[in-house]
Amino acid sequence: MRNSLKSVAELNFEDEQGLKDSVKTIRSEYIKKAFKSIIYITVISIVALTYFLYVYLPYIEKNFFTNLLTTEASSSEGNSFPLNLTLSWTLFSTCIFLIVYFARLSQVKFTPSLIKYIKKETKFAGFEFIKKIESVGLFMFLTTGSIAVLFYIDTRLIQFNDNSWSIMFQNSFCIYLLLSLILPIVFIFRNDKFTIKVKDNVFVLFNLHYNVRKNKDYDPNLLGIVLTSNRLCSRFDKSGKLIYSKISEDRWLIRNEPSAISPYFYFEEYSVPINFQKQFLNIVLALNDWENNYSSNLDSMNYYFSNPFPFHKYGLKKDEQPNQLIYLKFLNQ
């Protein structure tokens, strides 16, 4: 069962015993991963708390953030640690980000062996399974900016004589600091996904559904993979809605009502490991159908609006405009 090359378990869903063993492996890997995340969170929290109690609190009693921006502050007493603000913010933001990151990681149920299995299946179908982590890059980029500015403030390279400039800078920099922390956290939840790029701007996202705890109402061996496409069109787009319904109906895709938070249509498919490739191809071909029909529909609409109807050809006067229906070839199939 063990792969000597990569020491990641090889999953087998072909028979009942294999399925049970594989689910067991995934469950134990997930528990290990969640446990590791909890340890990381604890260590980070201890470091942050120690710093806060023994370094930052004594320091904050003597110095205030606002004083640092004025020239008067340069002569302030008790500022014994020249890079205090830079270090404090770096530590604070990194701790918060990492705590949220690991908390989220402990919720993500993808485990190394399952990732390996899905990678193999998708590769055999001609696509590549990617783990997209955008939050870390964004956090590093934004934090580098804030560190640079804080460093200049700490070393007194940025100073303001005029008080209004100082307040404006202070406010806008505070907003930047907040955003540099909030945006990456939002990205952790929204953009860090397991995905397959089908083509430019077309992709399929993955989510895993299984119960780690043993539950009477839920089959412990049911390991569901929910596949979601990129957004298709707004729910207010009537022709888009018709095409979406038709494709979903023909391909037996899950049809969820779009929520108020995300008023867009998405294709959604449910699979288990044994039929993963088939269901994945189903959603990919649904996207193909969408591109063929929605784009051609838009083209025909553009053509319709850009070209006046040839009334003379049909012996009609311009005033007697008939109820012109846009011909949707696809919908009439």
Partner 1 sequence: MSQSYKDFLEKYKIDDFKTNLKLSGHTKIDFYNDIDKLLRIMSTIFDKLATIGTLRGAQVLMAIAKLGGPDKVVNKTDVKNCLNIKRLEKILPAIDYLKQAKYITIEEKTKRFHILKLNEEDNPDLRVFREIIQKYWRSPREEVDKAEKWSK
Q: Which residues form the interface with partner 1 (CB under 8 A)?
A: 13-16, 19, 120, 124-127, 198-199, 202, 250, 252, 274-275, 277-279, 281-282, 284-285, 288, 291
Terminal Cα distance for the chain, rounded: 49
User: Residue for token digits 């830079």?
Assistant: 86
* Residue (of 187, 261, 251, 199) closest to 230 by Cα position: 199
Closest approach of partner 1 to the CB of residue 325, in Å: 18
| Of residues 101 and 276, the one with the C-beta less far from partner 1 | 276
Q: Are 137 and 201 in contact (CB under 8 A)?
A: no
Shortest distance (Å) from residue 124 CB to partner 1: 5
Query: Is the CB of 104 or the CB of 120 nearer to partner 1?
Result: 120
d(CA 244, CA 227): 16
**What six digits make up the tokens of 156?**
């007194």
Residue 148 CB, nearest approach to partner 1 (Å): 41
Rounded CA separation 109/205 (Å): 14
CB of 190 to partner 1, least distance (A): 25
Q: Which is nearer to partner 1, 118 or 147 (CB)?
A: 118
Structure-token pair, residue 6? 């990569």
Q: Which is nearer to partner 1, 288 or 300 (CB)?
A: 288
Cβ pair 232, 267 in contact under 8 A = yes
Buried b (16+ CB within 10 A) or exposed e, 18-35: ebebbbebbbebbeebbe
Token pair for 205: 């996202």
Whichever of 51 and 330 has its CB closer to partner 1, that residue is 330
What is the smallest separation between the CB atom of 178 and partner 1, expressed in angstroms?
A: 40
- Nearer Cβ to partner 1 (191/221): 221
Q: Residue 265 or residue 276: which is nearer to partner 1 going by CB?
A: 276
CB atoms within 10 A of CB 51: 16
CB of 52 to partner 1, least distance (A): 51
| Short-list 242, 241, 227, CA closest to 280 | 227
**Residue 22 Cβ, how far from partner 1 at the closest point, in Å?**
12
CB-nearer residue toward partner 1: 111 or 279:
279
How far apart are alpha carbons 89 and 145 in whole angstroms?
A: 12
Instruction: Pick the closest to residue 110 from 34, 56, 48, 170 (CA basis).
Output: 34
- The strand order across the sheet containing 268-271 reads 129-132, 193-199, 202-209, 224-229, 268-271
Closest distance of CB 30 from partner 1, Å: 22
